[in-house]
C-alpha cells in the first residue's frame, strides 16, 4: 500500500437529539492513500457524510460534536487545529464537492465573481488574476463557452454545468484531498458518467487524492482504488477494489453485492432480486456485540456478546467480523 | 392562460428581472401603485417648480377661498395656495418617511442577520431587546423619542426610524435563519470563508428580498407617521408645508366650512400610503409565486 495522505483513527461523532445521543460515527478507521481514490460506501444513515464533514470539521455544533479520535492529514491532527487554522485548510488543501449542485452556488452573484472570491481567499492574486484563474479552471472542467459562463448567474446554467463549476471552484487552489459527497446523485444518468469521468481525469492531472462517498458500488468499481464499507457508524471492511469485488469478506459487503441487479440475469417472480433482510439498527440502540448480527445469516453466539475488531486478514484487506478472526 | 402558452413556446426564465417586471406590471393594483408613486416622486423632485404659487407667500386678500379656477384646491387662512403647499410639501413628508426607513433598515437588518446567523445567546439577547422595543406601539415610542430629542422633522424621522428597527430586525432574522441552512453557505464554509465574509456575501444579500418588500410598505406607513407626528406638533414646524402640519393648521376651520384645508393634504397622504403599500404587495407577489396562484 502506498503512503497515506489522510488517516482517520477511531473517529467518534455524536449528535445530541431529543431522543438521545445519536452515535452517527462510532469508531471509524480509514486511510486515503496519496494520489488515489478511496470509495466510502454504505447505505443511507450509516455515517458516510458525517465522516466527510468531520474531516473538514463542518459538523454543526450544536447538536453535533466530534467526541474522539484523530484525523491525521500530512502528519497534522486536524481535530487539534484552531478554527482560523482550519479555515486555511478548507478549500485550500482539502476541498469538498457537495451533493446538490442546484443549490450550492450563491444565487445573487455571477459565476465568475464567486469563483474569483474563493481563489482570492487562498491565493495572493488580484481581482483580474483571480478571474483569469477562474477562466482557466472552467476550461479545465471542459465547460462549454467558459468566457460566457463567467458572466452568468447560477440559475442561467444547467445542473451538470453547475456541478462542473463547483468542481472547478473546489480544485482552484490545487487541493491535495478532494472529498466528493455523492457528487452525482442529483444529476441525470448521462451527466453522472461525464462528471465522474471528469473527477477521475482531474485527479490524475492535478495529482489529488479523492475521498468519494457514494451508495453505488458500480461507481466505486469505476472510480476507486480502495474501498471502505461502512455500516452503523463503523468501517466493516476495507480493501483494494480488486480484493473487495473479488472476495468480499464481510457478510454485509456480500449482501450489498448480491443486491445489485445484473443485466444478464432476468428478474423473474421466482427469482427475485436479493436484498439484505431487516433494517439498520437505530443509532440510539446500545447493541451488544456486532451491529450487523440481526441481519446476518452467519451470526453465531460470539457475535451477540462481543464486538469484533477491524483485523487485517490478507495484507491490507481489513474486515470487522468474527468469521475471519 | 396566456402565461402558460408563453412558457410552452419559449422557455421563460422565471428568475430574470424582465420576467419579474412583466409579472409585476400584470398585477393591476401594483401598476396603480407604480403610477401613484411616479406622481409622488415627480412632486418630490419638482414640487416647487410645478406649484402655481409660492407655497410661503401670504395674501390676506384671498384668504380661506374655496376651490376655484385660480386656486384649484382653495387657499388657507393666510391666503396661501393649498395646491402649491401640497406640491411643495411633498418632499418634506416623503423624505422624512424615506429617512426613517433607511435608519430602520440600516440598523435593524444587520442586527437581525447577525442574530439569526449566530443563534444561541446572541440571538436570545438581541431578540429580547427587539421584543422590548416592539412591545410599545410604534407611534407612542416615536412620540417618546421625539420628546427626548426635541421636536423637528429630522428628529421625527429618526424617532420613527428607531421604532422601525425591531420590525426590520425580525424580518431579517427570520430570513437569515433560513439562508444559513442553504447549501451555498455550507459550501462557502467548506471552501474556507470566514463567518464575517459569509454574513456579508451570502446571508445579507440573500436576505434582501423580503426586506425590500418591508421597506416599501413601511415607507408608506412612514408618510402616515411623519404626518401624525407633525400633526401633534412633534414634527415639522410652521410654516413648513408638511402635509400633516397642514391638516393640523386647517382642523379648526373644518367646523366653519373651510374643509379644503384639511381634506386635500389628507387625500395626498392617503395616496402616498396606498401607493407604497400596493407596490410592496406587488413585489411580494412577484417574489413569492404561491401568492400568484389564484
- The predicted-structure confidence for A269-288, as pLDDT tens digits, reads as follows 666 667 777 777 777 766 77
pLDDT tier, B169 (very low <50, low <70, confident <90, very high otherwise): very high
Contact A121 B193 (CB under 8 A): yes
B144 lies in some domain: yes
pLDDT at residue B161 above 90? yes
Q: CB of A152 within 8 Å of any CB in chain B?
A: no
Q: What percent of chain B has pLDDT over 90?
A: 36
Per-residue model confidence as pLDDT tens for chain A (325 residues): 568 888 998 898 888 888 888 888 888 888 898 888 999 998 887 888 889 999 989 888 778 888 888 899 888 898 888 888 888 888 889 998 888 888 888 888 899 999 999 899 888 888 898 999 999 889 888 888 889 999 888 888 888 888 889 988 988 888 899 999 888 887 788 888 888 888 888 888 888 999 999 888 888 888 889 999 998 888 889 988 888 888 888 888 888 887 777 777 666 666 666 777 777 777 776 677 888 887 887 878 888 888 888 888 877 888 888 887 7
- The number of CA neighbours under 13 Å toward the Cβ of B218 is 26
Residue B253 contacts residue B245 (beta carbons within 8 Å): no
* Torsional class of A169: left (φ above 0), alpha (ψ -120 to 50), beta (otherwise): alpha
Q: What is the Cα A227 distance to its own chain's centre? A: 11
Enclosing domain of residue B217:
22-59+78-291
Q: pLDDT tens, B240-277?
A: 889 999 999 988 888 888 888 889 999 999 999 999 99
B70 lies in some domain: no
Residue A322 contacts residue A308 (beta carbons within 8 Å): yes
Enclosing domain of residue A60:
4-83+213-324
B14 lies in some domain: no
Which of B15, B183, B192 is facing A98, going by the closest CB pair? Answer: B183
B5 lies in some domain: no
B15 contact residues in A (CB cutoff 8 A): 107, 153, 155-156
* Nearest-angstrom CA–CA distance, B95 and B150: 19
Residue B40 contacts residue B90 (beta carbons within 8 Å): yes
Locate cell 478532494: which residue?
A178
Structural domains counted in chain B? 1
Q: pLDDT tens, A19-32?
A: 888 888 888 888 89
A114 lies in some domain: no
A33 lies in some domain: yes
pLDDT at residue B203 above 70? yes
Q: CB of A98 within 8 Å of any CB in chain B?
A: yes
Cβ neighbours for A235, distance < 8 A, ≥ 6 positions apart: A28, A29, A30, A228, A229, A310, A318, A320
Contact A91 B186 (CB under 8 A): no
Contact A122 B184 (CB under 8 A): no
Q: What is the nearest CA distance from B191 to chain A, expressed in angstroms?
A: 4
Contact A166 B205 (CB under 8 A): no
Contact B190 A90 (CB under 8 A): yes
Structural domains counted in chain A? 1
Total H helices, total E strands in chain B: 13, 0
pLDDT at residue B4 above 70? no
- ipTM topping 0.95: no
Q: CB of A61 within 8 Å of any CB in chain B?
A: no
Those of residues 179-198 in B touching chain A at CB distance below 8 A are: 182-184, 186-194
* Nearest-angstrom CA–CA distance, B72 and B67: 5
Q: Which CATH number characterizes residue B215's domain? A: 1.10.3720.10
Taking CA–CA distances from A107, the nearest residue in chain B reads B206
Q: Which CATH number characterizes residue A64's domain? A: 3.40.50.300
* Nearest-angstrom CA–CA distance, B157 and A284: 57
Amino acid at each position: 500500500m502506498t503512503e497515506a495522505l489522510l488517516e482517520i483513527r477511531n473517529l467518534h461523532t455524536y449528535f445530541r437529539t431529543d431522543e438521545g445521543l445519536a452515535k452517527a460515527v462510532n469508531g471509524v478507521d480509514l486511510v486515503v492513500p496519496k494520489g488515489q481514490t478511496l470509495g466510502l460506501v454504505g447505505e443511507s444513515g450509516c455515517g458516510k457524510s458525517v465522516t466527510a464533514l468531520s474531516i473538514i470539521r463542518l459538523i454543526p455544533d450544536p447538536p453535533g460534536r466530534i467526541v474522539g479520535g484523530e484525523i491525521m492529514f500530512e502528519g497534522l491532527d486536524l481535530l487539534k487545529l484552531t478554527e482560523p487554522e482550519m479555515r486555511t485548510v478548507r478549500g485550500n488543501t482539502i476541498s469538498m464537492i457537495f451533493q446538490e449542485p442546484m443549490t450550492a452556488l450563491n444565487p445573487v452573484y455571477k459565476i465568475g465573481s464567486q469563483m474569483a472570491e474563493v481563489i482570492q481567499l487562498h491565493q495572493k492574486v488580484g481581482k483580474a488574476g483571480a478571474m483569469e484563474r477562474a477562466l482557466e479552471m472552467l476550461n479545465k472542467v471542459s465547460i462549454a463557452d467558459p468566457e460566457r459562463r463567467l458572466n452568468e448567474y447560477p440559475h442561467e446554467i444547467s445542473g451538470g454545468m453547475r456541478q462542473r463549476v463547483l468542481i472547478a471552484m473546489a480544485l482552484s487552489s490545487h487541493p491535495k484531498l478532494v472529498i466528493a459527497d455523492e457528487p452525482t446523485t442529483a444529476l441525470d444518468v448521462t451527466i453522472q458518467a461525464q462528471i465522474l469521468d471528469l473527477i477521475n481525469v482531474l485527479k490524475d492531472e492535478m495529482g489529488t487524492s479523492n475521498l468519494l462517498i457514494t451508495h453505488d458500488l458500480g461507481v466505486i468499481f469505476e472510480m476507486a482504488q480502495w474501498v471502505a464499507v461502512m455500516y452503523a457508524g463503523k468501517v466493516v471492511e476495507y480493501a483494494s477494489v480488486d480484493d473487495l469485488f473479488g472476495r468480499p469478506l464481510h457478510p454485509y459487503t456480500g449482501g450489498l453485492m448480491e443486491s445489485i441487479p445484473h443485466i444478464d440475469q432476468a428478474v423473474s417472480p421466482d427469482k427475485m432480486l436479493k436484498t439484505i433482510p431487516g433494517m439498520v439498527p437505530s443509532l440510539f440502540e446500545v447493541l451488544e456485540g456486532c451491529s450487523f448480527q440481526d441481519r446476518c445469516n452467519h451470526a453465531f453466539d460470539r457475535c451477540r456478546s462481543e464486538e469484533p475488531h477491524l483485523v487485517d486478514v490478507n495484507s491490507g484487506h481489513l474486515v470487522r467480523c468474527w468469521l475471519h478472526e | 392562460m396566456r402565461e402558460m402558452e408563453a412558457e410552452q413556446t419559449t422557455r421563460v426564465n422565471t428568475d430574470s428581472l424582465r420576467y419579474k417586471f412583466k409579472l409585476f406590471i400584470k398585477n393591476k393594483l401594483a401598476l396603480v401603485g407604480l403610477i401613484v408613486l411616479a406622481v409622488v416622486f415627480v412632486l418630490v423632485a419638482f414640487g416647487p417648480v410645478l406649484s402655481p404659487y409660492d407655497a410661503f407667500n401670504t395674501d390676506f386678500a384671498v384668504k380661506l377661498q374655496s376651490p376655484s379656477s385660480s386656486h384649484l384646491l382653495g387657499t388657507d387662512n393666510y391666503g396661501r395656495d393649498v395646491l402649491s403647499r401640497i406640491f411643495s410639501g411633498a418632499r418634506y413628508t416623503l423624505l422624512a418617511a424615506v429617512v426613517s426607513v433607511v435608519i430602520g433598515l440600516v440598523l435593524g437588518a444587520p442586527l437581525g442577520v447577525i442574530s439569526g446567523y449566530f443563534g444561541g445567546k446572541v440571538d436570545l439577547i438581541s431578540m429580547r431587546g427587539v421584543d422590548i422595543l416592539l412591545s410599545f406601539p410604534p407611534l407612542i415610542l416615536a412620540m417618546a423619542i421625539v420628546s427626548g430629542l426635541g421636536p423637528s422633522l429630522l428628529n421625527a424621522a429618526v424617532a420613527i426610524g428607531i421604532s422601525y428597527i425591531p420590525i426590520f430586525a425580525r424580518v431579517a432574522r427570520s430570513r437569515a435563519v433560513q439562508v444559513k441552512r442553504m447549501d451555498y453557505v455550507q459550501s462557502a464554509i467548506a471552501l474556507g470563508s470566514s463567518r464575517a465574509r459569509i454574513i456579508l456575501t451570502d446571508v445579507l444579500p440573500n436576505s434582501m428580498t423580503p426586506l425590500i418588500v418591508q421597506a416599501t410598505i413601511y415607507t408608506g406607513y412612514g408618510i402616515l407617521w411623519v404626518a401624525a407626528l407633525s400633526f401633534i406638533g412633534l414634527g415639522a414646524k410652521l410654516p413648513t408645508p408638511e402635509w400633516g402640519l397642514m391638516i393640523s393648521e386647517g382642523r379648526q376651520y373644518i367646523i366653519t366650512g373651510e374643509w379644503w384645508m384639511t381634506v386635500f393634504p389628507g387625500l395626498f397622504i392617503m395616496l402616498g400610503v396606498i401607493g407604497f403599500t400596493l407596490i410592496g404587495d406587488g413585489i411580494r407577489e412577484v417574489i413569492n409565486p404561491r401568492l400568484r396562484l389564484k
